[in-house]
Structure 1
Amino acid sequence: MTSPIRNAPESAGVPVPAPFRQALLFVAAVTAWRLVLLFTDGINLSFDEAQYWHWAQTPALGYFSKPPLIAWMIWLTTAIGGNGEGWVRLGATLSHAATALVLFALAKALFRTRDDADRIGLWSALIWITLPAVSVSAMIISTDAPLLLCWAVALLALVRALEPEGTAWRWWGLLGVAIGIGLLAKYAMVFFVVSLLLFLLVSPADRGRLRQPGLWLALAVGGLVYSPNLLWNLLNGMASYRHTGENANLKSHLFNPAELGEFLLSQFGVFGPLLFVVLALLLTVALRRTWLVRRYRLLICFVAPVLLAITVQSFLSRANANWAATAFVAAVPLVTAWLMERNRWRWVLPVSASLHLLAAVALYNPAPLLSLAGMPMTAKLDLQKRLRGWNIAGDWARELAVKNPDLVPLFDDRKTMATLLYYGRPLMMPGRMWNPEGKRQNHYELSASLPADPGGNYLLLTRGEAGWAAPYFERVETVGILRLPIYSDYTLELHAYRLTGFKGYAAGGAR
C-alpha cells in the first residue's frame, strides 16, 4: 500500500488523493492565519522563550534544563530571518503543520484496509491542527512542538516497519532517527520507547519482533543520534537529568487530590471537551472490545501509559497540563477512526473542529471580541498580560546601559534576566546572575553567576528593591525606576541600581 507521503505530484502522472489535498489546503490555511498573527501581533516573548533564544546565540550539545534541539531550531530560523519574535517562534508553527500531515499518513497507513482510510487521515489532520493545545503551542516556541512532530514520525515509521513488506529496514532506521531527535527535543520521548516495548509484549502477532534485528537497529540508531546530549550531561554534572528529576518534585508532600483534579480538568482543554470524553470512554468502557483490534491496540499503547504516568504524577505531586501532550498524537487517529466506525457519532468530529477553531479565534483575538460584547480588556481577562511591555522595558534598560558604560548588567532572577537579555540586546550581554549561595538551579546560575572575587561595578536590574545589596557593595544608588501601566490594575515595574565596589559575597555573610 502506497503511503500518501510518497505520492508523486499530479504533474508526474500520479493523482494526489482528494482527501490529502483537502487536508493540505486546510492545514496550510490555518498555518497561514497563525503566521500572519505571529508576525503582526507583537506579543512579547515569555521568559522561557527568551531564554531559549539566548541559548541559540551559543549553540551547544545541551543546556541546564533542556536538551539542545529547541536552541538549534531557533538558531536556524533566526539565522534566516533575524531575531524578531515571529522568527524565534516560527519553528513551533511549522512543526505543528508538519505533524498534522504526518498524522494523515499515519492514519491512512494504519487503517489502509478500511474503505474510509483517506477520510480517517483527513479528519486526523484537521483535528490535530485545530486542537486547543496546538492552537496555544503553535504560537509559542517550546520543546513540545518538535517533540510531537518526532513522536508522530516515529509512530508512522513503526506502523510501516511492522507491515509485511520488503522495505522494513528503512522504516526501522527512520524510527531510530525520530526517537533520537525526539530525545534531543525533550526527554519525554523516552515514553515512546516504553510504549513501543509494551505494544510488542502485549500483541501476540508482533511479539516476535523483540527477537528480530529491526527493533534493535532502531534503538541503536536512536541512541547514536541522541548521544551528543548524553556526552554533554556527562561533562556537566548530569545537569539536564537532575533538573528533569527535580521537576517531578516527588520529595514534597505526596498525595494531592486537588492537583489530580486540576490536571484531569486541564486535559479537557488540551484535547477538547468532546474528544476527551470519547477518549475516556475508549480507555474505560470500550477498552475490552477495542483492545482486540490490533491497530487500536497499538494506538492505545501509545496513549494510555503516558496518560496514566502523568496522572499518577499529578496525584503524587503536580503535573502541568502539557506534560501528557505526547499521548494525544496517537489519540487523534484512535478517536477519529473509532468515531467514523459509528455513523451516529461522526458529528463529534466536525463539531469539535468547529468549537476548537472558535476557541482559537477567541484566544488569538480577545480584545476585538470583548469590544463587540461591550467589555473592556482588563488584566483579569488578558492571559498574556505578563508578556506585555517588555519591549519597552528593554529599550529602557538599553538606555541605562548606554549612560553607564562602565557597569556590567546584573540580575537577581532568571525571568528578568532572560527577558532583558533579549529585549535589551546587545547591551545586556554578557549579563551576570547574583548567586551568593553558589546555587545551580537554572541556566544562568550554572553559566553566568557573578564570581565571588571582590571588585567590579554593576548595573542591577530587578523587579524589586535592592536593600539587600548594601552589605556587598561600597555604594548603592538608584539610577532609574520604570513603571509601565499595562492596565489600570496591572503595572510592569522595574528598578535599576548602580552598584559600585563589590566587596565579595563573604562581605554579606555568604559562604
Structure 2
Amino acid sequence: MARNALSDHGFNAEWRAVLLITAAMTAVRLAALFATPLELYPDEAQYWLWSRTLDWGYFSKPPMVAWTIWTTTALGGDSEAWVRLASPLFHAGTTLCVYAVGRKLYGPNAALAGAALYLLMPGVQLSSLIASTDAPLLFFIGLALVAYVNLAGAEGRRRLLLALAFGAAVGLAFLAKYAAVYVLIALVLHLALSKQARAAWSLGAAAAALAAFLLVLAPNVAWNAAHGFATVQHTAANAAWGGRKLFNFAELGDFLVSQFGVFGPIPFAVLVGGAVLLAWRRRLTEADLLLLCFAIPPFLIVTGQSFISRANANWSGAGYVAASILVGAWLVRWRARGWLIAAIGFQAVAAVLFLACVLNPPFADKVGLANSFKRAKGWEQVTEKMVERALREGPGELSAIAVNDRFLFNAAAYYGRDFFALPGQPPLVMWLREAHPQNQAETTAPLTARVGRRVLAVSLEQVYRDEMAGDFMAVHDREIVSVRLDKKRRRRAELFFGEGFAPRPRDPVSGRPIPIRP
C-alpha cells in the first residue's frame, strides 16, 4: 500500500515537473515570438502564402504547415508572431511525448532527462521560433512513438486502438513532411531485429494501422496524382544524388559537424559513442534497440547523402525525438550525472544566447552571429521600395510587378499584402528563367505575355538581371536599391521597367534562355 502511494506520488511529481518546465519554456518562446523584430524569412512567407488557399498539397511540401498557419492567423491576424505561433506549441507537445515514451521504457528519471534534452536541443530552439515543417513532423513522430511503445503487452480492443493511433500519427507526420518515411524504415527494421516487436502485432492490429495510415494520407496522394506528383518530384529532386561530383568529403564533414550543433555537442557524442559501444559489447536492451531503430536510420542515410551529394543539417531531425530519450536514459543508467548536468547546462546557455539574438539582433552582430540571421532581415524594406516605385506610376500604368527570385516573390507577397489586395493594383508575378516551373511561384503566378505589357521588373542581387531584361522588347529607367542588414551586409535589388514581354526561346535540354548571338 505504501509502495503504491509512493509510486503514485512519483508519477505525479515527475509529470508535474515536466509540465511546469515545458510550460515555462513555451511561455518564454511565445513571448520572444511577439517581441522579436526579425522578419519572416522567405520560406516562412511562402508557407503563409500557401495558407491563403487551403489545399491537400503544395508544390514543395505537404499541407500541414499551411493548415496550421491558416489556423493561427485566423485567430490572431497575419503578423509574424501569429504565422509562427504553432511551432513552439508543437514542440511543447513533442516534449510531453518524449517524457511519456521515456517513462514507459526507462522510468521517470530517465524520461525527465530525455524531455529536458529535447526541450533545450539547439535545433528545437531554432525550430520553435520559425514556421517550418519540422515542428509538426516531430510532434506526430512523438505521438506515433507513444502509441508504438504501448503496443507491447496490449491486448484486444486496446491493441486495436493503439494500432489505429499509430497509423494515423504516421499519416499525419507524412502530411507534415515526407521525412516521415523514416518512421516506416524504423518499423521495418525493428520488426526484423526484435522478436518482441513482432509479438506486439496481430494481423488485425497491423490491418488497422495500415488502414488508418492510408486513410489519412489518401487525400494528399490524390492531390499529387492530380498535379503530376509535384511534391514528390520536388522532394526527390532535393534528395537526388546526381548532379554533383561523388565523394564530397567537405560536405560530409560539414554535415557531421552540423549535427553537434543541431542535437547538442554532448548528446550527439553520447548518441554515437553509446550506440557503437553498447552494440559492440552486446549490451543493448530491448528498449535501446527500439529507439535506435528510430534514431539511427535518418542520421546514417543523410550522412551517406551528404557524402555522395549534399545534405542540410536538419534533414536528420526525424531521428532526434527517439535520440533524446535514448541519450537521457543512457546518462541516467551510467550514473553520468555530471555529463547530464553539463549537457543540459550547455544547451540552456545556448538557448539564452539564441533568445538574446532573436530579441536584440544587434547583439548577434556583436557576438559574431549576424550571418545566421540575415535571411530574416531586409525583406520588408525591399518590398516597400518596390511598392513606392509602383505607386509613382499611377493607377493602371503597370500591367504587373515581376521578380526573378522566389525568395523575393514570397517576401513581397507577404510584406506587400496590403498593397496587392487593393483594387486595380498590378499583380505580383514570377519571371521564369527555365522552360518549366521550378517552384510554387512559377507554377501559380508566372509572368506571361498577357500581363507583360509594361512591367516593373525586380532583380534580386542583380542575379539573372540581363537574362530577365533580354525577355522584354525594351528596358529603361534602371534603379538599384540597397538595404542594410548589419554592419557588413546589404541586400540589393535592381528595378527597371520592361515593355512588351516576349520571352526568348529556351534550350530544350537545360531549359534556360538561348543566348542571343551578336
TM-score w.r.t. length of structure 1: 0.89
The whole-number CA distance in structure 1 between the counterparts of 2:104 and 2:276 is: 26
Tell me the equivalent position of 1:445. 442
* Distance apart, 1:303 and its partner CA: 1.2
- Report the equivalent of 1:87: 82
* 1:258 corresponding residue in structure 2: 250
SS in 1 for 2:153: coil
**Counterpart position of 1:400:** 389
Cα distance in 1 between the residues matched to 2:194 and 2:471: 65
Partner of 1:3: none
Q: Which moved more, 1:454-463 or 1:377-386?
A: 377-386
Residues 36, 360 of structure 2: 8 Å contact kept: no
The correspondence of residues 82-121 of structure 1 with structure 2, limited to 5 A, is 82-111=77-106, 117-121=107-111
The range that moved more, 309-318 or 436-445, is 436-445
* Alpha-carbon offset, residue 421 of structure 1: 1.0
Q: Secondary structure at the match of 1:326?
A: helix
SS in 2 for 1:483: strand
User: Quick one: which amino acid aligns to residue 471 of structure 2?
Assistant: Y
Encode CA deviations 1:237-276: one digit per residue, 9 max, x unaligned.
1111111111123112121122112111111111111111
How many angstroms apart in 2 are the aligned matches of 1:470 and 1:126?
A: 54
For residue 83 of structure 2, what is the amino acid of its counterpart? Answer: V
Q: Is the 8 A contact 1:398 1:425 kept in 2?
A: no
Q: State how far apart, in whole Å, the 2-side matches of 1:80 and 1:18 are.
A: 34
Structure 1: tracts of 5 or more residues without a match:
1-12, 112-116
Cα 1:391–1:211 shift into 2, 3 Å: same
In structure 1, the residue matched to 2:30 is 35
Note the 1:306-325 alignment, pairs <5 A. 306-325=298-317
CA RMSD in angstroms comes to 2.7
**1:236 paired residue among 208, 218, 227:** 227
Aligned to 1:4: none
The yes-or-no answer on 1:184 pairing with 2:175 is: yes
CA apart distance, 1:318 = 1.2
Q: Confirm or deny: 8 A CA contact 1:195 1:302 kept in the other structure.
A: yes
1:353 aligns with 2:344: yes
Q: Which of 69, 80, 105 is the aligned partner of 1:74?
A: 69
Match among 428, 450, 456 for residue 431 of structure 1: 428
SS in 2 for 1:492: strand
What SS is found at the alignment partner of 1:349? helix
Task: Please show how residues 254-293 of structure 1 align to structure 2 within 5 Å.
Answer: 254-289=246-281, 292-293=284-285
Equivalent residue letter for 1:49: E
Deviation sequence 1:319-344 (CA, Å, 0-9, x none):
1111111111111111111211122x
Query: Do 2:33 and 2:81's aligned partners in 1 also have CA atoms closer than 8 Å?
Result: yes
Contact 2:255 2:312 in 1 (8 A): yes
Pair 487,281 (structure 1): closer, same or farther in 2 beyond 3 Å: closer
Change (3 A) 1:179 1:281: same
1:18-62 CA distance string (max 9 Å, x none): 111111111111111111111111111111111111111111111
SS of structure 1 residue aligned to 2:485: strand
Name the structure 2 match of 1:329.
321
The answer as to 2:187 corresponding to 1:196 is: yes
Following the alignment from structure 2 to structure 1, what is the Cα–Cα distance between the partners of residues 452 and 377?
Answer: 36
Q: Pick closer, same or farther for the CA change 1:492–1:171 going to 2, 3 Å.
A: same
Structure 1 residues 410, 197: closer, same or farther in 2, change over 3 A?
A: same
The offset of 1:436, in angstroms, is 5.2
> Do 1:200 and 1:210's aligned partners in 2 also have CA atoms closer than 8 Å?
no
Name the % identity.
37
Indicate yes or no: 2:196 matched with 1:221. Answer: no
Deviation at 1:92, TM superposition (A): 1.1
Structure-2-length-normalised TM-score: 0.88
> 8 Å contact 2:29–2:88 — kept in the other structure?
yes
Query: 1-side partners of 2:361 and 2:472: how far apart?
Result: 50
Question: Would the aligned equivalents of 1:254 and 1:315 in 2 still touch at CA under 8 Å?
Answer: yes
Q: Is the 8 A contact 2:380 2:411 kept in 1?
A: no
Distance 1:395 1:139, change over 3 A: same
Distance 1:206 1:77 in 2: 39
Decide whether the 8 Å contact of 1:47 with 1:419 is kept in 2.
yes
Unaligned runs of 5+ in 2: 1-7, 422-426, 507-512
Instruction: Report Cα offsets for 1:416-464 as digits up to 9, x if no partner.
Output: 1111111111334742111153222111122221225585221212224
Matched, 1:147 2:137: yes
SS of the residue 2:143 aligns to: helix
Which structure has more RCO (C-alpha within 8 Å, separation ≥ 6)? 2
Post-superposition offset of 1:182: 0.4
The letter of the residue matching 1:124 is G
Query: Aligned residue for 2:377?
Result: 388
Asked if 1:163 is matched to 2:153, the reply is: yes
**Residue 56 (1) aligns with residue 46 (2):** no
Paired residues in the alignment total: 491
The DSSP-based 3-state class of the residue aligned with 1:484 is strand
CA contact (8 A) 2:41 2:377 kept: no
CA contact (8 A) 1:401 1:428 kept: no
Residue 400 and residue 297 in structure 1: after superposition, are their counterparts in 2 closer, same or farther (change >3 A)?
Answer: same
Assess, with a 3 A threshold, how the Cα gap between structure 1 residues 102 and 294 changes in structure 2: closer, same or farther: same
Aligned partners of 2:428 and 2:445 also within 8 Å: yes
Deviation at residue 409 of structure 1 after TM alignment: 1.4
Residue 290 (structure 1) shift = 5.8
The structure-2 alpha-carbon separation of the partners of 1:505 and 1:151, relative to structure 1 and needing over 3 Å to count, comes to: same
The answer to whether the Cα contact below 8 Å between 2:49 and 2:413 also exists between their aligned partners in 1 is: yes
Which residue number corresponds to residue 484 of structure 1?
483
Asked whether the 8 Å contact 2:154–2:200 carries over to 1, the reply is: no
Q: Per-residue CA shift, 1:370-417, capped at 9, x if unaligned?
A: 999xx9638764421232122222222233333334321111111111
| Distance change >3 Å, CA 363–CA 14, structure 1 → 2 | closer
Aligned-partner Cα distance in 2 for 1:379–1:401: 37
Hey, what's the Cα distance between the residues in 2 that align with 1:245 and 1:159? 31
- Closer, same or farther in 2 for the Cα pair 1:471/1:128, shift >3 Å? closer
SS in 2 for 1:482: strand
